């Protein structure tokens, strides 16, 4: 999925809706789907935001610089949710903490891996 995002970003496209529901697996191969929110990285086309649970504060506050970083944040949030095994919060203090990269520890995973998610 990271390779797919890299390929998109090299071509000036951002996905803007990276989340577990849009990551498909077939025969052990992970694929990124649902490009309904995709747009040009330069922000020259109107932006349609994806699921707020996977968006950084900047995009939620209508700051649209560095849109490729939004996809990277969303990928990290998706991995965190999948590893944690429970849905990310849609609002409240835990929602805001995740937007700031303040993650609760994941027992059984190295600090290096957990820092990568941040």
DSSP one-letter string for 50-102: --GGG--HHHHTT--S-HHHHHHHHHHHHHHHHHHTSPPPSSHHHHHHHHTT-
State the pTM of this model: 0.85
Q: Please, what is the angle between helix 2-10 and helix 67-84, to 10°?
A: 170
Q: Which of 17, 21, 27, 71 is catalytic?
A: 17
* Residue range 51-87, pLDDT digits in tens: 889 988 777 666 667 888 899 999 999 998 998 888 9
**Residue 26: band (very low, low, confident or very high) from pLDDT cuts 50, 70, 90:** very high
Return the percent helix, strand and coil in the chain, to nearest 5: 45, 10, 45
* Polymer length in residues for the chain: 118
All domains in the chain, ordered by first residue = 2-117 (1.10.510.10)
- Computed over its alpha carbons, how large is the radius of gyration of the chain? 14
Instruction: Verify whether residue 17 is a known catalytic residue.
Output: yes
- Of the segments 19-23, 87-91, 114-118, which one has the largest average pLDDT value? 19-23
How far is the C-alpha of 74 from the C-alpha of 53, rounded, in Å? 9
């Amino acid at each position: 999925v990271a390779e797919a995002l890299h390929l998109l970003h090299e071509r000036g496209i951002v996905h803007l809706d990276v989340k577990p529901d849009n990551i498909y697996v077939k025969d052990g191969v992970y694929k990124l789907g649902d490009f309904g929110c995709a747009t040009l990285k330069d922000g020259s086309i109107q932006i349609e935001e994806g699921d707020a649970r996977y968006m950084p504060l900047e995009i939620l506050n209508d700051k649209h610089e560095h849109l490729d970083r939004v996809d990277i944040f969303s990928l990290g949030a998706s991995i965190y949710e999948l590893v944690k095994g429970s849905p990310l919060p849609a609002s409240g203090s835990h929602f805001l903490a995740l937007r700031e990269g303040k993650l609760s520890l994941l027992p059984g995973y190295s600090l290096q891996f957990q820092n990568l998610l941040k």
